[in-house]
Amino acid sequence: MIRIAPVALAAALSLSSSALAQPQNCGSDKDCAGNAVCERGLCVEPGGAAAPPAAPPLVAAPPPAAAPPVSEAPMAEPPMMGRKVAIKVHPLVPIAFLLVAGSLSVIAGVPVVLVAVPIEVEVALSPNFSIDGTLTPLYASVGTNSGFGAVLSAGARYYFFGIAPDGAFVGGVVSAGLFSAVLGSGISAPGAGFDAQIQLGYQWVLPIGFTVGVVGTWSPVALATSLGTTQVQSGLGFQLPLGVAF
């Protein structure tokens, strides 16, 4: 027993040294010690499995690209007005005066001329509000009697859609006029008039700047005085203004 133990220890140490000194890589079985065989470049014992290949070194993934900054959408602003000034004429007025003059000529048997040409200017002060003014020159001739005059009107309108002077509106107008007639005998006959109207209508402003409107009017009171006579009238009316806006 005393002799066997040192021999066994020496044999164990020899085997351990052989195992430790065994190469890790091989090209053939000759490069492997003992019964080890070369498989896949590694020395392994017969029937043993080769150690799995070493895992590739971990490579840190690049940091994600920074997202582009998100710009906040600008706050919506109220619609801006386009064309703010409109210059218009009222063609129905001279047409109506022409028809009345023709009728009076037939009735009176003398030449009758009646001329009136309203010229209106409207200015939008805000998307919903505008002011307007109208000048109407007058001329009348009946036989040997003739006269000149003018009517000046001023008003304001509220536009419901907020794009004045385009769209539906409601408004009011006051008018004042003066007229001076010269009779055939040379006598001057001055006259005056006053009118107040409530208006409801719609005005279109086309892309090219052309404007057309449809306006209904109601006059609760209209006064006219001439040669000491005063007339009071009221009633409904209709207007069709045409013009341009810029």
One-letter identity of residue 141: S
Length of the chain counted residue by residue: 246
DSSP 130-189: EEEEEEEEEEEEETTEEEEEEEEEEEEEEETTSBTTBEEEEEEEEEEEEEEEE-TTS-EE
- The proportion of the chain whose per-residue pLDDT surpasses 90, expressed as a percent, equals 51
Domains of the chain from N-terminus onward: 85-245 (2.40.160)
Distances from the Cα of 54 to the Cα of 15, 41, 57, angstroms: 27, 13, 9
Each residue's pLDDT tens digit, 39-93: 777 777 776 554 444 455 666 667 776 666 666 655 654 444 579 999 999 999 9
Give the number of other Cβ atoms within 10 Å of residue 75's Cβ.
Answer: 5
Q: 72 in helix, strand or coil?
A: coil
Does the pLDDT of residue 18 top 70, yes or no? no
What's the pLDDT band for 9 if we cut at 50, 70, 90?
very low
